């Protein structure tokens, strides 16, 4: 669906249908496969650790070891999932998107490859230290502080190439996908460096430290992971459907309001804590204002899919099946976050599984499913091969979709019920807990592991049997 850049910009189409030069494909192939292959391996490890954590809730004596305590396993699993799976995959997908949209040839790909190697080596060291007990007490900052500067340096080598691709685009035209990727690539190193400084290296005093950590979590989830996921959706929906995005002229508003309000939502997660009330109110207002980009992206994504049998086409496309699932999940996650950031509802659910359900809805149902869809589109084009097994593709989708729907639903429902029980002083903690919840967690963890194994087997079979990269006529579905 090649078209004039002026036309594509005004209607939201991406120009990625034109064939890239073979040399450009070859230069992009190495860094992409390194980052994405590493991401898949980290995902498998995170899946195994997730199953171990679920089994420990059911049988506390399972793998009774100082290195494999429940706290160590959960901390390692979270860091591996966010920094190992999600970040590695986004390095690859973001670079591919910006290379396609900007007609960029990666002439110094060895720098990106070096950055990917350093990133994964530092992460491996950090995870080993977590299991050894050398960890911090802050969520997603558990790795020793010496890991932070190495990760920042590695990010500058591997994660900044999309910005270079955007700066060197041959025309002045740009697309929504480019805006979100460039914004995300700027945000992560700045936020991560400042948080390392304020929380680990030169700790701030009192509640300022908690506020800095909360600011980091919100920026990490919404402006690094979330913005990158939105960039992929903005690209793949019009690309695969072959039609312009509905209401694409609103995408500019979505971008600016998203980046304006997302980072300011952090204080809403600290309602009731010893920080000034006006700061908490800023977080609540920002969370409510996030409804603007949520509604606009819903118009862009769901409006496009609702026209001319778009949902049926999405169901019949491997890529869009995952991407559409992620688009719906993003809308639900955004609306839930807006509604439950208000003081009354937040007080009921803040210390329950409800927050875990919200996080999983964002990081897995939205982001991870979008990454899977992107992989089904990109890998055949870079490897010059087709996916070996259609059965494994179906197994991958159904197991992960059922697992994430079930786990999110159980966490949200049980968390909401538990929150209201906890508000009653006559109710004890034993009355709030549920043995069936731990059993359900084991079932969902097994489904996740099966789906991830199916995806890994399919992906690595294609990569190892692939020939030199070809032009982009390779089939994705």
Do 63 and 144 meet the contact criterion of CB atoms below 8 Å apart? Answer: no
The reply to whether 471 falls in a domain is no
pLDDT for 23: 53
The reply to whether 32 falls in a domain is yes
Give dist(CA 74, CA 83) in Å, integer. Answer: 14
In the chain, % helix, strand, coil (3-state, to 5) comes to: 75, 0, 25
Q: Could you tell me the pLDDT band of residue 138, with boundaries at 50, 70 and 90?
A: very high
The pLDDT of 281-293, averaged and rounded, is 96
User: What are the tens digits of pLDDT across the range 157-185?
Assistant: 999 888 888 888 877 788 999 999 999 99
Give dist(CA 123, CA 464) in Å, integer. Answer: 25
The answer to whether residue 13 scores a pLDDT higher than 60 is no
Total domains present in the chain: 1
User: What are the tens digits of pLDDT across the range 401-422?
Assistant: 999 999 999 999 988 988 877 7
The reply to whether 467 falls in a domain is no
The pLDDT of 6-11, averaged and rounded, is 38
Q: Could you tell me the pLDDT band of residue 468, with boundaries at 50, 70 and 90?
A: very low
The reply to whether 53 falls in a domain is yes
CB atoms within 10 A of CB 436: 9
Those residues with Cβ within 8 angstroms of residue 282's Cβ, 6 or more apart along the chain or in another chain:
264, 267
The reply to whether 439 falls in a domain is no
Q: Could you tell me the pLDDT band of residue 106, with boundaries at 50, 70 and 90?
A: confident
Residue with tokens 């954590």: 53
Of 75, 100, 95, residue with least CA distance to 30: 95
CA 190 to mean position of chain CA atoms = 18
pLDDT for 102: 84
The reply to whether 4 falls in a domain is no
The answer to whether residue 471 scores a pLDDT higher than 70 is no
Of 327, 325, 335, residue with least CA distance to 300: 327
The reply to whether 263 falls in a domain is yes
Give dist(CA 236, CA 285) in Å, integer. Answer: 32
The answer to whether residue 1 scores a pLDDT higher than 50 is no
Q: Could you tell me the pLDDT band of residue 273, with boundaries at 50, 70 and 90?
A: confident
pLDDT for 421: 78
Q: Taking all residues of the chain, what is their mean pLDDT, rounded to a whole number?
A: 89
285: domain CATH number is 1.20.210.10
Do 122 and 131 meet the contact criterion of CB atoms below 8 Å apart? Answer: no
Please give the torsion angle defined by the CA atoms of residues 77, 287, 284 and 183, in that order, rounded to the nearest 10 degrees.
80
What's the count of helices (H) and strands (E) in the chain, helices before strands?
A: 21, 0
The pLDDT of 200-220, averaged and rounded, is 93
pTM here?
Answer: 0.92
pLDDT for 6: 37
The pLDDT of 127-132, averaged and rounded, is 96
Those residues with Cβ within 8 angstroms of residue 202's Cβ, 6 or more apart along the chain or in another chain:
none
User: What are the tens digits of pLDDT across the range 328-362?
Assistant: 999 999 999 999 999 888 888 888 889 999 999 99
Of residues 1 and 418, more confidently modeled: 418
Q: Could you tell me the pLDDT band of residue 434, with boundaries at 50, 70 and 90?
A: low
pLDDT for 20: 41
The pLDDT of 78-86, averaged and rounded, is 98
Q: Could you tell me the pLDDT band of residue 430, with boundaries at 50, 70 and 90?
A: low
Q: Is 454 helix (H, G, I), strand (E, B) or coil?
A: helix
Structural domain of 303: 25-367
Do 331 and 268 meet the contact criterion of CB atoms below 8 Å apart? Answer: no
Q: Residues 353, 357, 361, CA angle at the centre, nearest 5°?
A: 170
Do 410 and 15 meet the contact criterion of CB atoms below 8 Å apart? Answer: no
Q: Specify the range with the lowest mean pLDDT, choosing from 238-242, 342-346, 433-437.
A: 433-437
The answer to whether residue 46 scores a pLDDT higher than 50 is yes
Q: How many residues does the chain have?
A: 477
The pLDDT of 57-63, averaged and rounded, is 85
Give dist(CA 270, CA 281) in Å, integer. Answer: 10
The answer to whether residue 431 scores a pLDDT higher than 80 is no
pLDDT for 152: 96
Show the tokens assigned to 80: 């591996």
The reply to whether 452 falls in a domain is no
Do 16 and 239 meet the contact criterion of CB atoms below 8 Å apart? Answer: yes
Q: Could you tell me the pLDDT band of residue 428, with boundaries at 50, 70 and 90?
A: low
Give dist(CA 182, CA 164) in Å, integer. Answer: 9
């Amino acid at each position: 669906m090649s078209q004039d850049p002026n036309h594509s910009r005004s209607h939201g189409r991406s120009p990625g249908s034109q064939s890239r030069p073979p040399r450009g494909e070859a230069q992009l192939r190495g860094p992409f496969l390194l980052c994405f292959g590493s991401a898949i391996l980290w995902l498998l490890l995170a899946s195994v650790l997730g199953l171990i954590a679920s089994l420990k809730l059911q049988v506390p004596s399972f793998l009774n070891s100082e290195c494999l305590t429940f706290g160590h396993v959960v901390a390692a699993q979270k860091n591996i999932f966010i920094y190992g799976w999600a970040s590695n995959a986004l390095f690859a997908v973001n670079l591919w998107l910006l290379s396609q949209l900007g007609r960029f040839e990666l002439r110094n790909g060895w720098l990106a490859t070096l950055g990917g190697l350093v990133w994964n080596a530092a992460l491996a060291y950090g995870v080993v230290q977590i299991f050894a007990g050398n960890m911090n007490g802050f969520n997603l900052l558990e790795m020793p502080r010496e890991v932070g500067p190495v990760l920042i340096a590695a990010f500058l080598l591997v994660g900044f190439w999309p910005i270079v691709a955007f700066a060197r685009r041959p025309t002045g035209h740009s697309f929504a996908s480019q805006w979100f990727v460039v914004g995300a690539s700027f945000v992560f190193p700045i936020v991560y460096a400042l948080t390392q400084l304020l929380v680990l290296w030169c700790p701030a005093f009192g509640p300022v430290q908690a506020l800095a950590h909360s600011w980091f979590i919100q920026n990490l989830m919404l402006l690094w992971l979330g913005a990158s996921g939105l960039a992929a959706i903005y690209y793949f929906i019009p690309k695969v459907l072959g039609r312009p995005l509905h209401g694409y002229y609103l995408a500019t508003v979505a971008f600016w309001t998203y980046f304006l309000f997302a980072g300011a939502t952090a204080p809403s997660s600290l309602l009731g804590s010893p920080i000034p009330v006006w700061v908490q109110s800023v977080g609540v207002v920002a969370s409510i204002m996030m409804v603007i980009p949520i509604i606009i992206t819903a118009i862009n994504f769901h409006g496009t899919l609702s026209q001319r049998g778009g949902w049926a086409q999405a169901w019949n496309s491997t890529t869009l099946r995952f991407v559409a699932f992620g688009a719906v999940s993003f809308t639900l996650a955004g609306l839930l976050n807006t509604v439950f950031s208000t003081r009354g509802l937040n007080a009921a659910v803040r210390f329950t599984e409800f927050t875990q359900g919200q996080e999983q809805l964002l990081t897995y149902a939205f982001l991870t499913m979008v990454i899977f869809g992107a992989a089904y589109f990109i890998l055949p084009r870079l490897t010059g091969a087709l996916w070996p097994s259609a059965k494994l593709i179906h197994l991958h989708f159904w197991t992960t979709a059922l697992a994430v729907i079930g786990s999110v639903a159980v966490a949200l429902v049980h968390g909401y019920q538990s929150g209201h029980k906890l508000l009653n002083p006559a109710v004890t903690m034993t009355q709030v807990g549920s043995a069936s919840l731990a059993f359900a967690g084991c079932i969902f963890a097994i489904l996740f592991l099966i789906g991830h194994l199916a995806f890994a087997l399919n992906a690595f079979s294609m990569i190892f049997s692939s020939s030199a990269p070809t032009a982009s006529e390779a089939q994705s579905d």
